Structure 1
Amino acid sequence: MFTIDFENLPWLAYIGQIVDILLVTYVVYKLIMIIRGTRAVQLVKGIAVIFMIWFVSNFLGLSTLEFITKQTATFGLLAIIIIFQPELRRGLEQLGRSRLFTSRSAPKNDSMQTTIDALVKATSYMGKRRIGALVSIEKETGLNDYAETGIPMQAVLTSELLINIFIPNTPLHDGAVVIKNDKILAAGCYLPLSEDNTISKELGTRHRAALGISEVTDCLTLIVSEETGGISISKSGTLYRNLSAEQLREMLEQNLLRATSSENRWQWGGRKNG
C-alpha cells in the first residue's frame, strides 16, 4: 500500500517553523498591548537592564556581579508573577472573553432595542442639564462582582428611573449603575479606575472608572460629564468622547444588537485624549 512519509518532507519543517514564529510574534504582540500605557512598561525596562548587566558581567568576567544578576534572574519568574499580577489577570480575562469560550445566548433584539431607547433618552436628558452619570452595560463578561459593591435594585430599566438615580444629592447618584439586558442590577456601584498614564488630565473619576472597567471586561460604559454635559462611551480600553444622540444610538446598536454585533461599519475617531 502506497503511503506518504510526511516526516521526511522538508517543507513541513519550514511550515512548522513559520507557524512557530508567527505564534510567538502574536503572543509577544498581545503582551505588549496588555502592558501598554501601564506602570508595567517601566518594570519591563528594569528587567531588560538586569539582563544587560548579566550579559556584560559574564562577558567581562565580573563573577560577583554575574552571580547576583544570575540569582535575580533565577527567582525572577516568581517576582514577575507577583509584580505583573494586574496585567496577567487582564490578559487571562481577555483570553476568557474570546468567542471560543463564549456560550451565553444574546438577549432578544426587541428587548435590547427598548434598553437602547431608554439609554439614549436618559443620557440626552442628563447631558443637556449637565447631570453626571455612569452606566455600565453587561455583555458576555458578568458584572455581578461590581454590582455587589452597590445597592441591589433588580428593576426594569426606564429612562425616567435612570434619570432619577443620578439626580444630584440623592442617595444613589454617586457611583455607577450596572445594567443587564433590560434590568438595572444595582446602583451606586464602585468600578476600578484605569491606571493608564496616557489618559488626558482633564478627565475626571467617572471617565477613569469607565476606562478601568472596559479594560477588564467587555462591557460598554456610558458617561455623562457633569462639567460639560458631553456624552462618552468606553469600550475595550478606549474612550469615545462627545457623541451626539445619533452616534450614541448607532454605537449601542452596533455592539448590543445581535443582527449588527459582528459588523464594523462605523469608524470612530474619538480616543482617550480626544
Structure 2
Amino acid sequence: MLADYAEILERALTSLRLADVLDVIVVAVFLYGMISWLRHSASRGVITAICIFVVLYAAARVLQMYMTELLLRSLLAVVVVGAIVVFAADIRRFVDRIGTWRLFGGKARPLETEPVIAVITEAAFRMADQKTGALIAIRGREPWERCIDGGIEMDGRPSLPLVYSLFNPTSPGHDGAMLIEGDRITRFGAHLPLSTNLAAVGRRGTRHTAAIGLSEQCDALVVVVSEERGTVMIAEGGMLKPVESATELKSALSAFSRQHQPQRSTSVVDWWRKPSVQTAALALGVAVAAWFLQVKGSPTVARTLVAPLEFRNLQSQWFIDPSTPTEVRLTLRGPEQAFRLMDPGSVVVSLDMSRLKPGDNQFNIAADNVALPRALTLTQAEPTKVDVHATKLAPIDVRVRVKTTGKLPSGLELIEAAPKPDRVELLSPADNASIELVWTEPVDLAGITSSTTVKTRLVLPKNTRLSDGKNPEVSIRIQVRPRRP
C-alpha cells in the first residue's frame, strides 16, 4: 500500500506544473479567508447545515447514489440563494476584510499598549463604581466606518479626566460610544449598530446591544459599563463577556493589542501559536491534500477526438488544393481530470506554411503541432502525414462584366449596367494568366422599374481569389428610361 502511495506521489511530482502550484496557492488563500470568516461568523448553525449538505453530495457521488445526487443537485440553486441571503452581512464583512489584507506594508492603527490600556481599565471600573454608563469601542484591523453613524469628531489622547468628561451625564454625547484608534480618541457620541442576536443580548440594555452589534460586524473590541448594575463587560466577535476585575480587563485589552499588533518573537512556538499562522497552515494543508487526492483519484485514460487542421503563416499568394484534409484524428493520454478541464474545441493541429513551395508538400503530424495541456500527451495521429498541394498565385488586373437575365418591364429600356468597381485584381495561378474579365452573378431585370443600384457577387474563376482577400461583392448602377416610340 505504501508503494502505491509512493508511486502516486512520484507521478504527481513528475507532472507538477507551475499552474498546479498557483492552483494550490489560490485555493489555500480562498480557504484561509473562508476559515477566518467561519471563526468569527455568527451563523454557525447554518454553516453546519451547508457543510452537511456538501458532505452528503460528495458521498452520493462517490457511492453512486443517483437519486440522492439528483435530489441534492436540484436543491443546489436553492441552497446557494439561501446562503447568499443568510450570509449577506457576513459576505460584506468578508469583502471588507480582503481590503485590509496588506501585502506591501502599511497598517491600521491598533490599540497602543500600557498607557491607553491603563486609562481604559481605571476609567471603566471607576465609572462602574459610580454607576456611570459608558461605551468604549477600540478598533482592530478591519474598517468600521460603514458600521458607525453620527458622533463628534475629535483628536485627543486618552486620559482619565477626558474620559470622565465625555461620559458625564451632562455631556451631550454621553449616551453614544467613544471611539479609540491607536493612541487617539477619534470620535465620541457615535451610534453603533444594534445586534439582532437576542440570545446574546438577553435582557441587557441598549449599550450592550450596540456593543455586540459592532463586534459582530468588525473585529473591534467594545468595553461597556452598565449604569444600572455597575458592571463591566467586553464584547468581541459577537460575544459578550463579563469582566470581574481591573486585572482581567487589562489582560483582555493586552491580548487584543497583541492580536492586532503582534510583537516580534524569535520563538518558533510563539510564532506557531498565532491564530493566523495556524489558519494559514490548515488552509495550505487542506489545499495540498485536495490536490494530491485529485491526482490519486484521477486514473490515466486514453481518449480520441477530431481536431481541425489550420495553416499558420500562409501568405495570400498561395492556393491550397481543396482536396487537402481539414481534420486530424488524435488519440490523447493522461489523467482523467486533465480531460475534464480541457476544452475539446480548443485543440487544433497547426501546420507552419512559412516554408511552403509550389507543388506537393508533406507535413508530419507530431506533438509539436498540437497545443495540449502539459498533463496530456499525443500517442497517435491519423493520418500521421498530411500532403498539401500548393500553387503560387500571381496578381492580374481584370475587367468586371455584368451578367443580366430576364427582360425589363414593357415601356422601359436599359441605358447601362455599370459595375463599381469596374476592374479588380485577382490572384491566379500562372496557367490562368490569360483571364481578362470576370462576370457577376446574374442580375434579374424583370423586377427593375426605375434606375437603381443593386449589389451582387463576382463569379471568380477556379482557383482564384481577390488580392485584398475581401468578399467578392460589387455594386451595379442600373440606369433605365422610358422606351422611345
Q: TM over 0.5, yes or no?
A: yes
- In the alignment, what sits opposite 1:104? 107
Aligned partner of 1:131 in structure 2 is 132
Q: Which residue of 1 aligns with 2:215?
A: 214
Per the TM alignment, residue 193 of structure 1 is displaced from its structure 2 partner at its CA by 2.0
- Larger Cα-atom Rg: 2
One of 11, 14, 29 as aligned partner of 2:9: 11
CA–CA distance in structure 2, aligned partners of residues 201 and 80 of structure 1: 26
Instruction: Spell out the pairing of 1:184-203 with structure 2 (5 A cutoff).
Output: 184-203=185-204
**Higher-strand-fraction structure:** 2
- Which residue of the partner structure matches residue 268 of structure 1? none
TM-score (norm 1): 0.66
User: Contact 2:201 / 2:208 at 8 angstroms: preserved in 1?
Assistant: no
Structure 1: gaps spanning 5 or more residues: 1-7, 61-65, 266-274
Residues 149 and 74 of structure 1, relative CA distance in 2, 3 Å threshold: same
Q: What corresponds to 2:89 in structure 1?
A: 86
Look up the equivalent residue of 1:231 and give its one-letter code.
V
Deviation at 1:9, TM superposition (A): 4.5
Q: TM-score, normalised by structure 2?
A: 0.40
Equivalent residues of 1:254, 1:261 under 8 A apart:
no
CA distance in 2, matches of 1:186, 1:36: 27
1:184-206 Cα deviation digits (max 9, x unpaired): 11111111222334315132221
> Would the aligned equivalents of 2:215 and 2:236 in 1 still touch at CA under 8 Å?
yes
| Partner AA of 1:244 in structure 2 | S
Segments of structure 2 that go 5 or more residues without pairing to the other structure are 1-5, 14-19, 61-65, 275-485
The verdict on how the C-alpha distance between 1:97 and 1:28 changes in structure 2, with shifts beyond 3 A counting, is closer
Q: Tell me which of 23, 41, 44 is aligned to 2:46.
A: 41
Cα offsets for 1:111-139 (capped at 9, x unmatched)? x4221222122112101011111111112
1:222-241 alignment, distance < 5 Å:
222-241=223-242
How far does residue 226 in structure 1 lie from its aligned partner after superposition? 1.3
Measure how far apart 1:177 and its partner are: 0.9
Instruction: Answer 1 or 2: higher relative contact order, Cα 8 Å, separation at least 6.
Output: 1
Q: How does 1:18-167 map to 2 (within 5 A)?
A: 36-37=42-43, 41=46, 70=74, 74=77, 77-78=80-81, 80-94=83-97, 103-104=106-107, 112-146=113-147, 149-167=150-168
Amino acid in the other structure paired with 2:207: R
Q: Which has the higher helix share?
A: 1
Q: Work out the number of aligned pairs and report it.
A: 237
| Distance apart, 1:216 and its partner CA | 2.1
Once the two structures are TM-superposed, the CA of residue 93 in structure 1 deviates from its matched residue by 3.9
**Matched letter for residue 130 of structure 1:** K
CA shift at 1:27, angstroms?
8.2
Question: Which SS does the other structure have where 1:222 is aligned?
Answer: strand
Question: Could you tell me how far apart the structure 1 residues matched to 2:67 and 2:174 are?
Answer: 63
Cα distance per residue 1:123-175 (max 9 Å; x no partner): 12101011111111112223344555212122332211111111224311112
How far the C-alpha of 1:261 sits from its partner, in A, is: 9.2
Change (3 A) 1:259 1:73: closer
CA RMSD, 1 decimal: 4.3
One-letter code aligned to 1:224: V
SS at match of 2:155: strand
Compare 28-37 and 177-186 and name the one that shifted more.
28-37
